[in-house]
Amino acid sequence: MKRSLLLSPAGHGKTARAIDAIRALPSLSPVRVLVPDQIEATAFRRRLARAGGALGVTVQTFYGLYADILALTAATRRREDAATRRREDAATRRREDAVTRGREDAV
């Protein structure tokens, strides 16, 4: 997966270059475009649409990226917590079974 970061002053062709690169990709290629704010995101989407559009393109702000990362981290944490609870529950059941078997053996 190629990653590119385009840096230059305003009006020096960053958007045009990004749109050309996106349009050159195979259809449905996953692309994430990061822009500083929602106004720039809207402008980028409009320019991409005027150029013919592209499927699979996500245009978001850095804030949106941070929110996605936090959501993924939280989901991972919830899965890890659930797995830990299942292991602990299984260990508790094994201990309870062992205690029950020990009592049955004594009877």
Nearest to 61 by CA among 35, 100, 85, 24: 35
Note if the pTM is more than 0.85.
Answer: no
What confidence category does residue 27 fall into, taking pLDDT thresholds of 50, 70 and 90? confident
Burial of residue 31 (CB within 10 Å: 0-12, 13-18, 19+) is middle
Q: What is the mean pLDDT of the chain?
A: 86
